[in-house]
Amino acid sequence: MATAADIASTLQTIASLSSVVAVGMVVWQVRAARKIAVMQNTMNSIDSERRDTLRAQADIRIATYAHNLGYFEPIPTEAVAPLLEDEDALEAVWNYLNWWERVALGVNMGAYDEEMCRRRFRRVLVGTYRKYEPIILARRKTSRIYVELQDLAERWERAAERDRNA
């Protein structure tokens, strides 16, 4: 027959195990809530029509500029220097790239869900970076601009390459 000390010890063990399980459940719930919050933040922040408007404005400005100089897109490196002097032509481009830089920063810092963003935006983000890369690199001579966008575009390009070769 169990003694009072045995029963007390068993109850103490059960209470300790219950505490461990409760703490484990709280940790799991916090992690799950954070993942849901990040995914919701991603959808609320980046799934907007503003990106499409900014892209259209940038594309029109760049296409007009390139056409006026006798070039077709993408803009060749030798045409970038005069473009950097034309603030009117660049305003739409900077607005569009700023939008993508914000997305890249959010992904790189974990505020946005990377897998969700990659599945939704990989082609357009990488394509946007490559299209405007000569302009970005020319501007980078005077400022450290669009580094987050470049890092994310290159990381997603490497991942796509690995997937193709797998």
Q: What is the pLDDT of residues 83-115, one digit of tens each?
A: 777 777 788 788 888 889 999 999 999 988 899
115-132: pLDDT as tens digits: 988 998 899 899 889 888
pLDDT of residue 86: 75
Q: How far is CA 108 from CA 72, 79, 112, 118, in A?
A: 33, 32, 8, 12
Task: Give pLDDT, residue 4.
Answer: 75
pTM for the predicted model, two decimal places:
0.66
Report the distance separating Cα 164 and Cα 148, nearest Å: 24
Q: Taking CA 63 as the corner, what is the angle to CA 133 and CA 156, rounded to the nearest 5 degrees?
A: 30
Question: In the prediction, which pLDDT does 46 show?
Answer: 65
Range in 23-27, 70-74, 142-146 the model is least confident about: 70-74
Is the pLDDT confidence value at 72 over 70?
A: no
30 Cα distance to chain centroid? 23
**What whole-number distance in Å separates Cα of residue 16 and Cα of residue 12?**
6
Distance CA 5, CA 35 (A): 45
pLDDT digits (tens, 9 = 90+) for 26-65: 777 777 667 767 667 666 666 665 667 777 777 777 766 6
Name all contacts of 134-137 with Cβ < 8 Å and 24+ positions apart.
134/74, 134/75, 134/76, 134/77, 134/80, 135/75, 135/80, 135/83, 135/84, 135/90, 135/93, 136/97
Which of the residue ranges 23-27, 32-36, 74-78 would you say has the lowest mean pLDDT? 74-78
